[in-house]
Amino acid sequence: MAPNVDQYSRRITYLRISVTDRCNLRCTYCLPVKDLKLLDHADILSYEEILKVIQAATHVGIRKVRLTGGEPLVRRNFIDFLTSACRVPNLEDVSITTNGVLLKERAQEIFGAGVRRINVSLDTLNPTKYARITGRESFQDVWEGLQEAEAVGFSPIKVNVVAIRGLNDDEFLKFAELSVRRPYYVRFIEYMPIGHDTQWKPEKYISSDEIRSGLESYGPLHKVAPSAHDGPARRYRFESARGEIGFISALSRHFCHSCNRLRLTAGGKLRPCLFADDEVDVKTPLRDGCSQEDLKRLFQEAIARKPMEHHAGIAEGAECLRSMSAIGG
């Protein structure tokens, strides 16, 4: 069996890496309610360590890396690291997920480093509500960041919207309109129960089907044929739209059977499943001077430990302790 195929015949080709647990926003739904515990700087993997992990990952068949956080753009010297990551042999794609606050000033450099695909998280188009959700008055920065990303030439630009009842469900048609007017792929993400100490409640959850039927009052949604870089999003487009609409339905139609990913936390733990706290430590072996062969074995262990499916649910709530901010989204 190929080194990146797990016991359920899934081929693992994708690694999401949290480069920091720090963020310049304080999104209420992402952070723990009580205690925001941050790692000591010494416990965060250095860029050199992350590059070693990426190299080993390519040896087990990882071909795509997405850099996330925390907020990746707040980590010092991120662009130099990005440039190195984009040059790792056999890596076909490096992308980033950002809240967009620093995107306007960094878009050109990110593109120059070799990244072409970018995801920007934006849950509201209302600046006042944005400040309420994130604790920061940065809506305009994100908005200008999106336009700069477009001007620089990123494609696709995905706008990730976590759908939360009572928070942004009154704005879904505005996001629909955005996908028509601008070349953005607006993706509605089901609000997931991640971590025991968060604001998630079943009443706040909205299924993709409910969102989709609401959007049809805007106009018919046409299915878009899947392509090579597609993740779990089901893709649609409004008539004559410049962009698209996507639905990521981790609860209502979980995509565990086609899950192709592992995560690396900022603290150096390989996580086989977003929803489960089982983790393989790579930081300790790295700091004990382990070889690329050893790292490769740790990847194979993480791949072997991927569960068949997650057990989080609307009635069940979260199955893991750590919140999204601590894992890396």
| Residues lying near ligand SAM in the complex (CB under 6 A) | 23, 29-30, 68-69, 71, 97-99, 121, 160, 162, 189, 191-192, 194, 200, 324-325, 329
| Residue 71 Cβ vs ligand SAM, minimum distance, rounded to whole Å | 4
- Give the list of residues 6+ apart from residue 63 with CB closer than 8 angstroms, or none: 13, 14, 90, 91, 92, 93
- Residue closer to ligand SAM by CB (options 142, 221) is 142
Smallest CA-to-CA distance from 283 within 43, 65, 93 is with: 43
Smallest CA-to-CA distance from 13 within 76, 59, 61 is with: 61
What residue is closest to ligand SAM based on CB? 329
| Residue 114 Cβ vs ligand SAM, minimum distance, rounded to whole Å | 20
With H, G, I as helix, E, B as strand and everything else as coil, classify residue 27.
Answer: coil
DSSP class of 40: P
Distances (CA, A) of 102 to 121, 144, 146, 326: 12, 10, 10, 21
- Residue closer to ligand SAM by CB (options 69, 268) is 69
- Residue closer to ligand SAM by CB (options 97, 249) is 97
- The residues with which 317 forms a beta bridge, in sequence order, are 313
| Residue 224 Cβ vs ligand SAM, minimum distance, rounded to whole Å | 21
- Give the list of residues 6+ apart from residue 230 with CB closer than 8 angstroms, or none: none
- Residue closer to ligand SAM by CB (options 6, 21) is 21
| Residue 162 Cβ vs ligand SAM, minimum distance, rounded to whole Å | 4
| Residue 193 Cβ vs ligand SAM, minimum distance, rounded to whole Å | 7
- Residue closer to ligand SAM by CB (options 268, 329) is 329
2: tokens are 């190929």
